[in-house]
């Protein structure tokens, strides 16, 4: 691979530099235009909307920036209409809005508690995707039945008691405790929280969680199946989680750009 996407989300020198290449230098697909942190996060929101993170105004994403502030999705916009300029900049020490034309969720408390407890987290995604919410309602972590579901790359935790929405400080703290050092946590009778190092890892972990919950629902609706062996799921999942699924975020980002190039504005 001669040149990969700039993982810091900083502008790239030219569109071609964003293309993934094989070892012979042949590009896998057309490159993306240069993406700054806002554009990358807006694309993440739109991609996840198509992948089931789509419940009305329920979701919010926070992304840590190099200056210690956080970009946060605004409360009043759905993820499929979000543009880069809609993102809010917030000081998560005190929840104060520093920049942006809209409002932030009252559940910002969840992100405050989360980033305070886990300095390794760069991006946190919360929403109520349908199949994750089904398993959260069942208070059960679904087995892994297929390869894509392994791409969470580590444990899926469970908070098995619903104590009110994540706007409540005590519930936010309970969610963070239940998450521990896992990659994601199902929140009983509510939804899911996924954490990651950066936008691309957040993308893959988020789609892996919902995929795992969806496939397990189908398999168990058939009467049950055979889960993957733990060691196979763990080895393959960790490798993909660490290195990413080459070209995958970029492919879905191109789809969003075809649908609506104004996402970058």
Which residue, judged by CB position, is nearest to Zn ion in the bound state?
Answer: 191
The structure tokens listed for 194 are 């996924």
Provide the residue count of the chain.
265
> Rounded to whole angstroms, how far apart are CA atoms 123 and 168?
21
CB of 84 to Zn ion, least distance (A): 24
Report, in Å, the least distance between residue 121 CB and Zn ion: 18
Residues contacting residue 161 through CB under 8 Å, at least 6 positions apart: 174, 188
Task: State yes or no: residue 31 binds Zn ion (CB under 5 A).
Answer: no
Q: Annotate each residue in 200-239 with x if it binds Zn ion (CB under 5 A) or - if it does not, as one string.
A: ----------------------------------------
Identity of the residue, 42 or 132, whose beta carbon is nearer to Zn ion in the bound complex:
132
Question: How many of the chain's residues bind Zn ion (CB under 5 A)?
Answer: 1
Instruction: Report in angstroms how near the CB of residue 179 gets to Zn ion at its nearest.
Output: 14
Question: Residue 40, exposed/middle/buried by CB under 10 A (0-12, 13-18, 19+)?
Answer: buried
Shortest distance in whole angstroms from residue 243 CB to Zn ion? 30
Nearer to Zn ion, 52 or 191 (CB): 191
Alpha-carbon distance of 102 to 37, in angstroms, equals 18
* Alpha carbons 194 and 184: distance in angstroms, whole number: 4
Which C-beta is closer to Zn ion: that of 38 or that of 60? 60
User: 164 to 203, contacts with Zn ion by CB under 5 A?
Assistant: 191
Closer to Zn ion by CB, 153 or 191: give it.
Answer: 191
Instruction: Tell me whether residue 142 or residue 191 sits nearer to Zn ion (CB atom).
Output: 191
Task: Report whether 167 contacts 107 (CB < 8 A).
Answer: yes
Choose between 30 and 76: whose C-beta lies nearer to Zn ion.
Answer: 76
Query: Which string of b and e fits 78-95 if b means at least 16 CB within 10 Å?
Result: bbbebbbebbbbbebeee
Residues that bind Zn ion (CB under 5 A): 191
């Amino acid at each position: 691979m001669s040149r990969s996407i700039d993982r810091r989300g900083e502008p790239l020198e030219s569109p071609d530099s964003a293309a993934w290449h094989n070892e012979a230098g042949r590009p896998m697909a057309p490159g993306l235009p240069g993406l700054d942190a806002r554009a990358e996060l807006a694309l993440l929101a739109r991609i996840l909307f198509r992948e089931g993170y789509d419940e009305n105004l329920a979701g919010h994403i926070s992304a840590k920036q190099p200056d210690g502030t956080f970009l946060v999705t605004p409360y009043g916009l759905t993820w499929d209409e979000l543009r880069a300029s809609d993102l809010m900049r917030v000081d998560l020490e005190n929840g104060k809005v520093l920049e942006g034309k809209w409002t932030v969720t009252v559940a910002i408390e969840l992100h405050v508690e989360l980033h305070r407890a886990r300095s390794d987290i760069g991006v946190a995604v919360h929403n109520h995707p349908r199949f994750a919410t089904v398993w959260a309602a069942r208070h059960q972590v679904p087995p892994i039945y297929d390869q894509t579901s392994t791409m969470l790359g580590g444990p899926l935790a469970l908070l098995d008691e619903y104590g009110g929405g994540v706007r409540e400080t005590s519930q936010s703290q309970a969610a963070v405790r239940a998450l521990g050092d896992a990659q994601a946590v199902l929140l009983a009778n509510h939804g899911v929280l996924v954490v990651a190092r950066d936008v691309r890892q957040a993308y893959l972990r988020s789609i892996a969680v919902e995929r795992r919950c969806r496939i397990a629902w189908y398999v168990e609706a058939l009467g049950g199946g055979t889960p993957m062996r733990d060691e196979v799921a763990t080895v393959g999942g960790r490798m993909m989680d660490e290195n990413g699924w080459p070209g995958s975020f970029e492919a879905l980002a191109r789809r969003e750009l075809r649908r609506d190039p104004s996402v970058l504005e």
